[in-house]
Amino acid sequence: MEFEILIILACVPLYVLNSFCDKIISTKQNNHFSNLYNFVKFFLVALCFLPMFLIDNSPKFTIGVIGCGIACSILYSSSKIITIKGYETSSMTFINFCHGAGMLIPCVLGHFFWNEQLNLFSITGIILAIISIVLLKDSSRIQNKVNLKGIIIGLLVFITSGGIMIVQKIMGLYFVGESVSAYNFYSFFISFLIMGSFLGVKLKRVERKSFDKKDIKYLILCGFGSAVSLCIINYVMTTLASSIPSVILFPLFNGLGIVCVCVGSSILFKEKLTKKKVVGLIIGLIGLCLVNF
């Protein structure tokens, strides 16, 4: 398992790169190009998986591969739109922690459906992680009442993120020997089609009219960086899901990713790490470690 752990750790910088690409696009003209960015990114990820899809001799057109691909594409489309929207209403730290905390869902389900251990340490870790989310919530936008919009967005990010991990786990456990490359190709190509169909009119009439060369440059660079990151991350996570318990795989990857994103966002995007957020981050990391026990 040591080799697999090293692979997971090697993917953590890709987690950070993907998060920062999303954040950069969200800051351009008040998040005006996020929908087009997702549209382009999903196409690029599918394009990255296409050669692997063509040369892979494993079964590609089974019900399991196609079904998991469709389910994941719906979750991906929803998750990316909601996540980038969340950057407008809450801090990057809070949204990314909600995304990372989604790993609690497969950890809990793993105990009941996949015979994965969930003990007192794990339960305590889950409670601490939830507390940390509350502390990490950006209160600067709350005026005399709870900002329900930010909380709802965080909850949706949490659910869709966990849903993606569950599909990865199902694909890895129940469809062993079937094409992981095909599953990922379907996931992102269908996401590309969903995004194009749902946002076609808006993309043509709203987002393109104020485009300039600098915007195109950021769109292409961030889209490519995020696409390569997602391609590698999803292939690795789906492949390892069959052999690594959820309470190790997801907390290790997402926990370290959260730390790096929080520190990096405070440096690159000048997001202030208040005492409350620092305490929340520490509690969250303790929670993730306890889940891993």
Q: What is the pLDDT of residue 138?
A: 54
d(CA 117, CA 45): 34
Q: What is the pLDDT of residue 211?
A: 61
Q: What is the pLDDT of residue 142?
A: 41
Asked if 46 and 189 count as a contact pair (C-beta separation under 8 A), the reply is yes
Q: What is the pLDDT of residue 143?
A: 41
CA 179 and chain centroid, separation:
22
Q: Is 210 left (phi over 0), alpha (psi -120 to 50) or beta?
A: alpha
Asked if 86 and 154 count as a contact pair (C-beta separation under 8 A), the reply is yes
Amino acid at 224: F
Highest mean pLDDT, choosing among 4-8, 114-118, 266-270, 288-292: 4-8
- Three-state SS string over 52-73 comes to HHHHCCCCCCCHHHHHHHHHHH
Q: What is the pLDDT of residue 30?
A: 62
pLDDT greater than 50 at residue 206: no
pLDDT greater than 70 at residue 259: yes
Positive or negative: CA dihedral 246, 252, 255, 261: negative
Q: Give residues with Cβ within 8 angstroms of 147, minimum separation 6.
A: 89, 137, 141
Q: What is the pLDDT of residue 292?
A: 62
d(CA 238, CA 268): 31
pLDDT greater than 90 at residue 114: no
pTM here? 0.82
Question: Between 4 and 156, whose confidence is greater?
Answer: 156
d(CA 73, CA 65): 12
Q: What is the pLDDT of residue 90?
A: 73
Question: Between 258 and 221, whose confidence is greater?
Answer: 221
Q: What is the pLDDT of residue 58?
A: 93
When pLDDT is cut at 50, 70 and 90, the band that residue 285 belongs to is confident
pLDDT greater than 60 at residue 193: yes
Q: Lowest-pLDDT range, 102-111, 117-126, 230-239?
A: 117-126
Tokens of 270: 């000048």
Q: Give residues with Cβ within 8 angstroms of 292, minimum separation 6.
A: 125, 247, 248, 251, 252, 255
Asked if 284 and 136 count as a contact pair (C-beta separation under 8 A), the reply is yes
Q: What is the pLDDT of residue 248?
A: 79
Question: Between 208 and 190, whose confidence is greater?
Answer: 190
pLDDT greater than 60 at residue 33: yes
Q: Lowest-pLDDT range, 27-31, 91-95, 135-139, 160-164?
A: 135-139
From residue 188, how far is each of 51, 170, 217 by CA, in Å? Answer: 14, 17, 22
Asked if 223 and 44 count as a contact pair (C-beta separation under 8 A), the reply is yes
Asked if 125 and 287 count as a contact pair (C-beta separation under 8 A), the reply is yes
Burial of residue 12 (CB within 10 Å: 0-12, 13-18, 19+) is buried
pLDDT greater than 60 at residue 203: no
- % of residues, the chain, pLDDT over 90: 32
Question: Between 57 and 84, whose confidence is greater?
Answer: 57
Question: Between 147 and 277, whose confidence is greater?
Answer: 277
Question: What is the chain's mean pLDDT, rounded?
Answer: 82
Q: Give residues with Cβ within 8 angstroms of 27, minimum separation 6.
A: 87, 269
Average pLDDT over residues 19-39: 78
pLDDT greater than 60 at residue 207: no
